[in-house]
Amino acid sequence: MRLFTRAAAATVAALAAAGTGAYALDTLPGIFDTSFRSLKVQRADNFFAAPVLSLGEQGTLTVTFDRLVEDRDFLRYRLVHCNSDWQPSQLMESEYLDTFNDISIDDYAFSQNTFVHYVNYRIEFPTEDAHPLVSGNYLLQVYDEDDPDAVLLQTRFSIEEPAVEITAMADAHTDRGINGEYQQVSMTIDTQRQRVRDPYNDVITVLEQNWSPSMPVTLTHPQRVESGRLVYEHLQPLIFRAGNEYRRFETVRADYPGMSVDSVKYMGRNYHAWLRTDVPARDHSYTYDRTQNGRYMVREYNATDSDLGADYVTVHFTLQMPELTNAAVYLDGEVWQGRFTDANRLRYDRDRQAYTAEVPLKQGSYNYRYVIVGTGGADPYFVDGDKYETHNEYTVKTFIREVGSRYDRLVGTKTVYAFE
């Protein structure tokens, strides 16, 4: 089994070395077995922080997920080192990890006093026995010990070696107008503590709006360089659709309607929660609501450990709007990992003139939005429009890749919020 895992990893490295034009690994976070739910990665000390650790620091990243079964499985995980584009780098496993890359998941526990039974798994990284040797992006893949080639779920995190200082801001004063439908980011990267041979070609900067991993913006050249400071201003790729605040609801109590919940009822095997009917907000004025920019948090009001005491509630979503042609409507938010599948697709109910969905979700606090997916791709702005006042979150990652290097070093990260 272990020889197979090493061979599979070597194959990935070889394909990466040949270039991603002929091979592209699916590295988006995701769950590929429907018995798994509630995948989450976060810093152990900060729920709101991006899943990034500094090389050698004492902090910890925590990956948690559930499997809706009665007994534990013998699961393992491996790490794939990736470049700035989340494709595998050319490094061998021994060059980026100080242990054999086939690690047992031994931290598990059974749900407590829940109608829906599950096993909760937890991975903490790094540990005394497993820690990264280089900076960069890391893909964590979970699989059954008897079938290491079948990835059950995967998630992302990053390790940085802080060597540059990033200053950034985002507001509605854009090159496409002021206080309209857009927000624009401007930033400088101070490289005085990090020698860069060719700042116009060796530095890669990646930006993400909110938590979403599927629509990054990559910059391979600064606008100009001033005394070791790379300046990025008035660049078209740094103009973002403003979008709108995420919608949110709470099911922290299964027997009582929480935020945005119209009613709850126990039906047969578990509780159901009906959310208030949503309507498109694109033609409405902006309403302030400080959300978590798409994230979710597991929480049960009476549980001492919500990871084990939170139940799975069937949540009923309703979006009142005319039926669309040649397009589908999906729920979007961290809990769905940026993917659009049957698990988060809404169906049109012609009798109710609305899109509806029933989704089993673990008790807690959730952010969500509606995304239209058609032949032109995903559109997260169609339903709720663009409001320049939206408090979007922007995460900046700066990589260095010099000529001849076999991987992208992550030398700095920064998170900023619009208007702050």
Q: What is the average pLDDT across 24-30?
A: 92
pLDDT tens-place string over residues 357-415? 999 999 999 999 999 999 999 999 999 999 999 999 999 999 999 888 999 999 999 99
pLDDT tens-place string over residues 189-198? 999 999 999 9
Nearest residue to 400 (alpha-carbon basis) of 166, 84, 57, 96: 84
- What is the chain's mean pLDDT, rounded? 93
Residue found under tokens 């989450």? 40
pLDDT tens-place string over residues 158-178? 999 999 999 999 999 999 999
Nearest residue to 82 (alpha-carbon basis) of 20, 7, 165, 128: 20
Nearest residue to 167 (alpha-carbon basis) of 146, 197, 189: 189
* C-alpha dist (Å) from residue 335 to 128, 223, 359: 30, 36, 11
Q: What is the pLDDT of residue 405?
A: 93
Residue 5 has pLDDT above 70, yes or no: no
100-123 as b/e: b if 16+ CB within 10 A: ebbbebeeeeebbebebebbbbeb
Q: What is the pLDDT of residue 411?
A: 98
Which regions of 244-295 does DSSP assign to beta strands (E)? 247-250, 261-267, 270-275
pLDDT tens-place string over residues 264-313? 999 989 999 999 999 999 999 999 988 899 999 999 999 999 999 999 99
Alpha helices in 248-304 (DSSP H): none
Confidence of residue 47 (pLDDT cuts 50, 70, 90): confident
Confidence of residue 249 (pLDDT cuts 50, 70, 90): very high
Q: What is the pLDDT of residue 367?
A: 97
Residue 2 has pLDDT above 80, yes or no: no
pLDDT tens-place string over residues 83-137? 999 999 999 999 999 999 999 999 999 999 999 999 999 999 998 888 999 999 9
Calpha distance 171→187 (Å, rounded): 12
pLDDT tens-place string over residues 118-128? 999 999 999 88
Confidence of residue 9 (pLDDT cuts 50, 70, 90): very low
- Phi and psi based region of residue 200 (left: phi greater than 0; alpha: psi -120 to 50; beta: remaining): alpha
Calpha distance 96→259 (Å, rounded): 45
CA 150 to chain centre: 21
What pTM was estimated for this model as a whole? 0.92
Residue 20 has pLDDT above 80, yes or no: no
Domains of the chain (ranges plus CATH)?
Answer: 2-160 (2.60.40.10), 165-242+390-417 (2.60.40.10), 247-379 (2.60.40)
Q: What is the pLDDT of residue 23?
A: 60
Residue 329 has pLDDT above 60, yes or no: yes
Q: What is the pLDDT of residue 187?
A: 98
